[in-house]
Amino acid sequence: MLGGQRAGPRERPTVTERAPLAIIAGVRVLSFTQFLLGPAGVQFLADLGADVIKIEPPGGKLWERNWSGSDLYLNGVSAFFLSAHRNQRSLTLDLKHPKGQAIARRLIEGADVLVQNFRPGVMERLGLDYDKATAINPRLIYVSASGYGQSLASISGRAGQPPTPVGTAVVDQHGAALLALGVLAGLLERGRTGRGLHIEVSMLRAALDLQLEIVTYALNGARMEKSPTSLASMFHPGPYGVYETRDGYIVLSMSPLPALQRALDLPELAPYAAVPYNFAAREKIARVLEPVIRKRTTAEWLELLEPQGVWAAPVWSHAEAFADPGFQVADAVEEITHPVAGPVRLLRFPLEFSTGRAAVRRPPPMAGEHVDEILGEIGYAGDEIRRLRDQGVV
């Protein structure tokens, strides 16, 4: 479910000519990644213009090609894979084969960035760990993403009930953004010093960073107790939360209680409205509001509350959000044509630049689609590539 915001359409920034983004064009990224955090992280870099080479096992064995949420495959192509592999090239490579490792080392010679999220010890066994890789290329920015992850489930749900799953892989996606941020910082650092560096990204740290506010409170002595009511968190004042209406749900944000009392003309709120944001009585405030909010539809509440300056928004399904004019103005989706999957709608890169925009220069690749192209770039002749293919190396 999505929290909608009933704001009027806003004008998008305009530029005379929007060229595809090439902010880090010329930067070559080797992606030894799987699942979501790693692929989504390098996809950010690809959207910014980097040449990302996805290194995957031969035979279509990559995990994300063989799994998809909602069991959704488009003409046999995993929608999960499609979500995080645009603007990348694919090189199938048997990293357990000595010749495969030799190819990887030759790729490292000319790379700017290497990103890997294998289990600890795997890259060492392959001879591709940080020390060995930077011995080949001292300017290499080497990123290790670890999966020691924690979910956000423990702070969700109501008191006396099991934790509620967040519903989407927010830790992976935030970790991906941190990964890309780290690489961009690493490129700046390398420009200053002339040397590469090792960057570590962990899902645990990403999960904690997502909870910047609440973790600060908890570390410094705040009481953290779940609510049995509609309150949204363990630390916001009343009435901040999600409330059931007659036909759906509505979010009430941190509006000052005096404004809410005036809008609702609700005497029961008067004892709590002496202060704008009441933490001590937040449970009582929620219990007063719950039966009242259920009496009207979501649209009726929005019509009443918005003119009074009360921060409120409907809770939408994805379909409702996609149909809203504000979603159309955001222009967040691009439709591409994949050679096998056919028409595919993908989210755009989430930032806008006045000088250009991220576009899908390449659809997500088929396994091994660019073997000849990539190996040719690092000096392998056609007959050598054929032999490597016959030997199962690529």
Topology of domain 241-323 in CATH is formyl-coa transferase, domain 3 (3.30.1540)
Residue 5: per-residue pLDDT: 45
Sole residue written with tokens 């509440």:
301
pLDDT tens column, 302-313: 999 999 889 999
Residue 18: per-residue pLDDT: 56
Pairing of strands 113-116, 141-146: parallel
Q: What is the dihedral of CA 382, 129, 38, 207, to 10 degrees?
A: 180
All CATH 3.30.1540.10 domain ranges of the chain, comma separated, are 241-323
pTM of the entire structure? 0.87
Residue 9 has phi, psi (to 5 degrees) of -60, 135
Q: Pick from 298, 261, 364: which is nearest to 6 by CA? A: 298
What is the full per-residue pLDDT of the chain (394 aa) written as tens digits? 444 444 444 444 443 345 678 999 999 999 999 999 999 999 999 999 999 999 999 999 999 999 999 999 999 999 999 999 999 999 999 999 999 999 999 999 999 999 999 999 999 999 999 999 999 999 999 999 987 533 444 444 444 554 444 445 889 999 999 999 999 999 999 999 999 999 999 999 999 999 898 889 889 987 777 667 666 677 777 788 899 999 999 999 877 888 888 889 889 988 888 887 888 888 888 999 999 999 999 999 999 999 988 999 999 999 999 998 888 888 899 999 999 999 999 999 999 898 888 889 999 999 999 999 999 999 999 999 999 999 999 9
Q: Looking at the chain, which runs of residues are DSSP E strands?
A: 2-3, 19-20, 28-32, 51-56, 73-74, 77-78, 88-92, 113-116, 141-146, 197-202, 241-244, 249-252, 312-316, 333-338, 342-347, 356-357
Residue 70: per-residue pLDDT: 93
Core vs surface per residue 50-86: b (16+ CB within 10 A) or e: bbbbbbbbbeeebebbeebeeeebeeebbbbbbbbbb
Residue 161: which residues within 8 A CB-CB, separation 6 or more? none
Report the alpha-carbon distance of residue 45 to residue 185 in Å, rounded. Answer: 12
All CATH 3.40.50.10540 domain ranges of the chain, comma separated, are 17-210+334-390
Please state, as a whole number, how many other Cβ atoms lie within 10 Å of the Cβ of residue 18: 16
Residue 221: per-residue pLDDT: 86
Tokens for 130, please give them. 């940080």
Residue 202 has phi, psi (to 5 degrees) of -125, 145
Q: Pick from 227, 225, 224, 248: which is nearest to 239 by CA? A: 227
Superfamily of domain 17-210+334-390: Crotonobetainyl-coa:carnitine coa-transferase; domain 1 (3.40.50.10540)
* Averaged confidence pLDDT in the chain: 88
Residue 368: per-residue pLDDT: 98
